[in-house]
Structure 1
Amino acid sequence: MNFPSWPELLVVDVEGNGHHPPDLVEVAALPVRDGQPDKSTAGAWLTRPRRPVTSFVAAQVHGLTNQMLEQQPRWEEISEEVHARLGTAWIAAHSAHVEYRVLSAHLPQWRPAGVIDTLRLAKATYPDLPKYGLDALIKHVKPDLSQAPAQRHRATFDAYATAQLLIAVAKHYDRWDQIVAAAVPPGLPGTPEPEQEPTLW
């Protein structure tokens, strides 16, 4: 895989408050450059949601409580900064339609160049695995997570783990367009254009 040929790409992860639709409580955006996660230019934001974090997600998922978030800025105070950091880069995420849908709802003017789903990519690469959740793939692929920040289910950790997973799985492919063909969910930005049948007119 020729990693320097990749377009600008950010691995993103979001955490919510447990409501449907969710209010954001954490966003992480981690660039991948030359086949490595670039923590030096990563973005990470905590934000105080409009509605309280549910006790379930606080205790059983990301561990972010209302008390921990009460001094954090509202989404409206950081949305322009997040939008500027995401820009028009490609994004990658695990079950990427979730991150894309939630971020699009919070950033209506945001238009990424494309969306890579590491879950779709893993299914195409390892078709016989029993499970394709992030934990199962970490166990199977064994990416280097020694430099991962925070802990599992925090946005910064999950973005780092997904980035390392993407890098490891991408080595099974020769070109970026092969990854795009395998990993962009139908209907999301970056979907390859169907080949046009030649006509006489």
Structure 2
Amino acid sequence: MNFSTWPPLIVVDVEGNGTHPPDLVEVAILPVRDGRPDLTTARSWLVRPPRPVTARASRVHGLTNERLARCPPWHDIAGQARTALGHAWIAAHNAHVDYRALTAHLPGWQPAGVIDTLRLARATLPHLPSHTLDALIDHLDPDLTQATDHRHRARYDTHATALVLLTLAQHYPSWDHLTKTAVPPGLPGAAEPDEAPTLW
């Protein structure tokens, strides 16, 4: 894989407050450049949600209502997030979740394309009994010594997802081959279905 041929790509991860639909409590973005995470341009935001964080959500990511009480509300940082994301490709694990949350909170924003590392892992490593991010970390053993925070925090998960993506990408000869496998149907960047034959 020649990583220099990749378009601008940002790994994203969001954490929510546990409600349906979710309010964002953390957003992290990690650009990938020249085949490695660019930690110098990574960004993250903690967000005070309009509705309280549920106890179950707090147990997962460790963010409590008390911790978030002094953080800005989403409308104060939405412009920063939109600018940082631009219209680059995004990648996420189980990308439908992050894509839906971001587009719901950033009306009018659309990435150039969406890579799902869960979909990519299932196609690339079909023998694994599980393709959760935890299972892929255990199997691929990426070097996460520079990752910030801990598992289920957005900054950590973007770092882990970026390394998983870069490792799995080595199985594909080109960006086009990668995206044909990794972009879920119906999301930006998905291959157009072949047109049905017609009479002229």
What's the TM-score once normalised by structure 2's chain length?
0.97
Provide the C-alpha distance between the structure 2 equivalents of 1:38 and 1:195, rounded to a whole number of angstroms: 37
**Per-residue deviation at 1:57?**
1.4
Q: Does 1:194 align with 2:189?
A: no
Structure 2: runs of 5+ lacking an equivalent: none
**Per-residue deviation at 1:146?**
1.0
* AA of the residue aligned to 1:12: V
Provide the C-alpha distance between the structure 1 equivalents of 2:27 and 2:140, rounded to a whole number of angstroms: 25
Match of 2:181 in 1: 182
Provide the C-alpha distance between the structure 2 equivalents of 1:176 and 1:131, rounded to a whole number of angstroms: 25
* Matches for 1:129-168 after TM superposition, within 5 Å: 129-168=128-167
Partner SS, residue 61 of structure 1: helix
Match of 1:42 in 2: 42
Provide the C-alpha distance between the structure 2 equivalents of 1:57 and 1:81, rounded to a whole number of angstroms: 25
* AA of the residue aligned to 1:100: Y
**Per-residue deviation at 1:193?**
1.8
Post-superposition CA distance 1:54-112 (Å, at most 9, x none): 11211x21101111111110001000110111110000000000000011110111110
**Per-residue deviation at 1:52?**
0.7
* Matches for 1:1-201 after TM superposition, within 5 Å: 1-58=1-58, 60-196=59-195
Partner SS, residue 61 of structure 2: coil
Identity %: 62
Provide the C-alpha distance between the structure 1 equivalents of 2:180 and 2:68, rounded to a whole number of angstroms: 39
Question: For this pair of structures, how many residues does the alignment match?
Answer: 200
Post-superposition CA distance 1:133-167 (Å, at most 9, x none): 00001111111111111000000000000000000
**Per-residue deviation at 1:195?**
4.0
Provide the C-alpha distance between the structure 1 equivalents of 2:17 and 2:79, rounded to a whole number of angstroms: 21
Provide the C-alpha distance between the structure 2 equivalents of 1:198 and 1:138, rounded to a whole number of angstroms: 45
Partner SS, residue 171 of structure 2: coil
Structure 1: runs of 5+ lacking an equivalent: none
* AA of the residue aligned to 1:23: D
**Per-residue deviation at 1:194?**
2.9
